[in-house]
Amino acid sequence: MKRRMYFIGTICIILLLTANTCKKPCVPGKDPECTDVPPPDGEYVTPPNDAFVENFPDGEFEKGFKEESVEGVKFDDYSSSWIRTLNGLAALPPDMGGSMALLTAKKAKEPVGGYFALNMTTVLLQLNAGTKILIPGAVGTISESFINEFLDQSGKITVRKDFSEKPTALKGYMKYAPVRGDSAAIEIELYNGADVIGRGLLVEKRTINNWVAFEVPIHYSNAAAAVTGLKLIFSSSAGYNFNDLLHCVGQAGSSFTIDRIWWTF
């Protein structure tokens, strides 16, 4: 019974994670948090000339890759003390579409530095009834107990963690291979209690074949307020919403890779 409830909850989570009214692209110069200005393609920025600071847990993605097991199904996964993936969806039973094809986050070689980078790829889950559900390659501050939270709170899950710093930007390196006009996103929200007091957003549309540096500036609406929480999402398809059940269309196969992540203050 517990296993069935787990899988029912997981299917519901899939709908929750992939359903929404698609986010509209922000407008540079009009939206204060917008950084929707893609970096040039093909320009490799060589570390260590970037003043990299190791203030993001496992920001070089060297320690968090491991084998996980859910209901006896083993799969590769990544998690740190701050962020986790949706790879547990691979443990769905076959009659619910579960397979290793649902591993949306994977280890990537040829990193900026070290041994590995983190790749996110959007996929489709196909149910036996023929229904196809988009699974974005999303990694971020998703609760470790998000399935139980969904069942206990009628669909609402936590996508933020306790946090007390006040960064000015998030920096790192990225590659992107969009499919048919898809967009990747990096979204940051900083909270004081229930209030959002800081935002940062990068929406990337262009193909970026070689590592380029990115920066997501954070704009504060209340600079005096203390920060108590953080929401941080990296996604290979920008049409996601963790609180909405309306469907949104993305593109399976869009691939977003990140490495060497850090905060500036």
Query: What is the residue-wise DSSP string for 56-73?
Result: STTTT-SS-EEEEEETTE
Spell out the long-range contacts of 35-38 with Cβ–Cβ below 8 A and sequence spacing 24 or more: 35/200, 35/201, 35/202, 35/215, 35/216, 35/217, 36/201, 36/202, 36/203, 38/204, 38/205, 38/206, 38/208
Q: What is the mean pLDDT of the chain?
A: 78
How far does the chain reach from its first CA to its final CA, in angstroms?
Answer: 49
Q: Which of 133-142, 224-233, 241-250 has the lowest mean pLDDT?
A: 241-250
Structural domains in the chain?
A: 2-264 (2.60.120)
Q: What is the mean pLDDT of residues 75-95?
A: 82
- Residue 60, pLDDT > 80, answer yes
Categorize the per-residue pLDDT at 146 as very low, low, confident or very high, splitting at 50, 70 and 90. Answer: low
More confident residue, 26 or 221: 221
Categorize the per-residue pLDDT at 154 as very low, low, confident or very high, splitting at 50, 70 and 90. Answer: low
pLDDT digit string, tens, across residues 202-237: 999 999 999 999 999 999 999 899 999 999 999 999
Neighbours of 27 (CB within 10 A): 9
H/E element holding 118? strand 117-121
Q: What is the mean pLDDT of residues 44-58?
A: 71
Partners of 196 in the β-ladder? 191
pLDDT at position 19 is: 39
pLDDT digit string, tens, across residues 173-195: 999 999 999 999 999 999 999 99
pLDDT at position 176 is: 97
